[in-house]
Structure 1
């Protein structure tokens, strides 16, 4: 069952939480005005400024903020402050029935991928892979396209990604329709063997990552291959792989060689070059809605994420 959250209206309140690593508080404050410029009111999670080593507070504190935002009827959407590490630590303790009873916009990326996957698969809620408050909105060069992508939350609208946005390269030709799933490749791999293991059967699998060398991406794609995730998907959307260059090894395959090795012979549509991920601009997308990938037209058409 797929559940789309209600669209946002000007004057609505959105909650800001840090379910992974601690945000830089100065940047958090610098990012909030963008959300206010959209006509939104802001409610900060009670523990958003907490620190517990490399985590934004204890597991219990971060879980509490997540639950409180979903339970609060005045909060119409939840925007994550930043990624980093830590969402998998709280995933098993989340009250998914609470989320299913209170579906609302949930937005973030990177380490938030684990929550996107768990929430969608255990509740059916469509969530959003997009720029976050302290890591993106605080930047002086927050790209106009990145800003524009938030409009999809205020009105149900189809998204179309074409070469008007960036050059797209076909790795394997074809056409396919299916729900978009996925996100950060490292986090996708971390779901395997858990209750939140990513289901790619009949889906369009989206992957992206940052600061991972080609041999690491090779390892992760190999695991997706060996677990059947690549074969089960109807198509593959390759987003941005920022800083995917060798540093530990003098001799290395390139990112493109690695991608071609695992994806070129899949006999299904695979295209790379999408500015989705740790990049600027960042084309935000809903996860869990139907989309059509065409290598002939070099387009990705995505159904609305809100209702």
Structure 2
């Protein structure tokens, strides 16, 4: 796997919108945060474009992505927002260009499709973390520090309450992202490869029957059979009876994973909730339920 170079104060970073159009007020706030880290910001053309639920045409969004990777002055590429649209451009992405110009690529949610495609076709470690056009917390800001200095990420119950569904110890590269996007990849050239890896999953505002259906789809596709371990992140809901939702969600997790031959842990604050801890996808990781903990190697060089 390729590790991108670390950032230095004064570096220029690019911000693009490869999926949906961002809220411009929140985008401006995110740009201010990046500048507070000592970075210069180059906004892609797509952050101000809107074509229905997309941030410009497929060609415009693809061009923005290619420009940021090809431009030697740009040291990292941050996504402004998720929504929908990255699957539409995945087939046209120049993965050889990305492999030859490896740099930090950061985002989550719909960006999951590009994370998987870039890792599997370019061999580049990418980063799952909060969008630029979102409401940042202090923890979110701290997450960006891993891009300046190589540091191992160690996530324990001191960060959030972790529940062990299946005990054990796992070693492997951590892959995954949003459950819907992982399921959407099945049967395509960008199908998520889980064999020997630690699979991370998160989701937002999906009814329980949809989560059930997607987990069953992944199971039937064999994505749990050869996995090294499973880490479950935030599964957030806007329902009023949140306690009942999560109780029934836990029953779903137990149903699908209690007979697993590998460790399964839930409760990681990674995904659509706040805080949203950033971490490198494709990096080597260890999950141990004795503590429990998830340790991930630095994603930069």
Q: 1:16 matched to which residue of 2? A: 15
Distance 1:246 1:101, change over 3 A: same
Check if 1:189 corresponds to 2:175: no
Alignment of 1:1-307 (within 5 A): 2-135=1-134, 139=135, 142-243=136-237, 254-307=248-301
Q: Could you tell me how far 1:285 is from its partner in structure 2? A: 0.7
List runs of 5+ in structure 1 lacking aligned partners: none
Q: Answer yes or no: is the 8 Å Cα contact 1:214–1:252 preserved in 2.
A: no
Q: Answer yes or no: is the 8 Å Cα contact 1:212–1:244 preserved in 2.
A: no
Q: Answer yes or no: is the 8 Å Cα contact 2:44–2:64 preserved in 1.
A: yes
Q: Answer yes or no: is the 8 Å Cα contact 2:18–2:46 preserved in 1.
A: no
Q: Answer yes or no: is the 8 Å Cα contact 1:200–1:230 preserved in 2.
A: yes
Q: Answer yes or no: is the 8 Å Cα contact 1:126–1:287 preserved in 2.
A: yes
Q: Answer yes or no: is the 8 Å Cα contact 1:214–1:253 preserved in 2.
A: no
CA distances 1:238-297 after superposition (whole Å, capped 9, x unpaired): 0000008599xxx99811111111111102100001000001111111000000000111
- Greater than 3 Å deviation, 4+ residue runs: 244-247
The alignment's TM-score, normalised by the length of structure 1, stands at 0.95
Distance in 2 (CA, whole Å) between partners of 1:74 and 1:56 is 24
Q: Could you tell me how far 1:47 is from its partner in structure 2? A: 2.5
CA distances 1:71-92 after superposition (whole Å, capped 9, x unpaired): 0000000000010000000000
Q: Answer yes or no: is the 8 Å Cα contact 1:180–1:203 preserved in 2.
A: yes
- State the SS of the aligned residue for 1:99: helix
Distance in 2 (CA, whole Å) between partners of 1:288 and 1:31 is 26
Distance 1:35 1:121, change over 3 A: same
Distance in 2 (CA, whole Å) between partners of 1:23 and 1:301 is 32
The alignment's TM-score, normalised by the length of structure 2, stands at 0.97
Distance in 1 (CA, whole Å) between partners of 2:167 and 2:58 is 44
CA distances 1:57-112 after superposition (whole Å, capped 9, x unpaired): 00000000000000000000000001000000000000111101100000000000
- State the SS of the aligned residue for 1:22: coil
Distance 1:245 1:11, change over 3 A: same
Root-mean-square deviation (Å): 1.7
Q: Answer yes or no: is the 8 Å Cα contact 1:185–1:208 preserved in 2.
A: yes
List runs of 5+ in structure 2 lacking aligned partners: none
Q: Answer yes or no: is the 8 Å Cα contact 2:27–2:132 preserved in 1.
A: yes
- State the SS of the aligned residue for 2:88: helix
